[in-house]
Amino acid sequence: MIRISVGPDDFDIAVETARVSGQGGGAIASFIGQVRDDGNLQSLALEHYPAMTEKALHKIAETARADWPLHAVTIIHRVGKLAVGDNIVLVITGSDHRGAAIEACSFIMDKLKTVAPFWKKETRTDGTTKWIEERASDVDASQKWDLRKN
């Protein structure tokens, strides 16, 4: 089962984990990304391309399901204005064994960060704003999976 959700609302990790657990298997891996306090960050504004976002996330989840034996994949990503410490993204994978669950969760996050059409704009405590730029380390992490498959 694949569950994709994109919107402004926060998520309930217990509820989402139970949903994945209910699909069988004994290994569940999850990742939660939150707004990091790096000193003088006020808030983040997350923009996305609604017509493309869910399609892109579905494709990532389908690829993960084709490459690992997964019972369930959940991807939830928030948009709109978020404060320091707020949840941004949740990925949960369920499988029979931990290796598949953990690897697939890692794969999904690496791809999400480089493929899913979201953009972050930060507002500093002094009021200045800036669009966050792509990180080379994220691109490398994403490409490493493609190389591994070849």
Partner 1 sequence: MARSLDIVYFAWVRERLGLDQEQVALGEGIETIADVVMMLVARGGVYAEIFADLAKLRFALDQDYGLPASPLGSAKELAIFPPVTGG
Residues that bind partner 1 (CB under 8 A): 33, 46-49, 51-52, 55-56, 77, 88-89, 109, 112-121, 131-134, 138
Sign of CA dihedral 49, 63, 78, 45: negative
| Closer CB to partner 1, 23 or 31, in the complex | 31
Shortest Å, Cβ 52 to partner 1: 4
Shortest Å, Cβ 69 to partner 1: 25
Residues sharing a CB contact under 8 Å with residue 41, sequence separation 6 or more, in sequence order = 35, 84, 122, 123, 124, 125
Shortest Å, Cβ 2 to partner 1: 18
| Closer CB to partner 1, 26 or 119, in the complex | 119
| Closer CB to partner 1, 23 or 117, in the complex | 117
Alpha helix positions (H), 39-85: 50-67
d(CA 11, CA 4): 12
| Closer CB to partner 1, 102 or 109, in the complex | 109
Shortest Å, Cβ 38 to partner 1: 15
d(CA 114, CA 142): 7
Shortest Å, Cβ 112 to partner 1: 5
13: which 2 tokens?
């990790």
d(CA 100, CA 83): 33
d(CA 144, CA 141): 5
| Closer CB to partner 1, 64 or 109, in the complex | 109
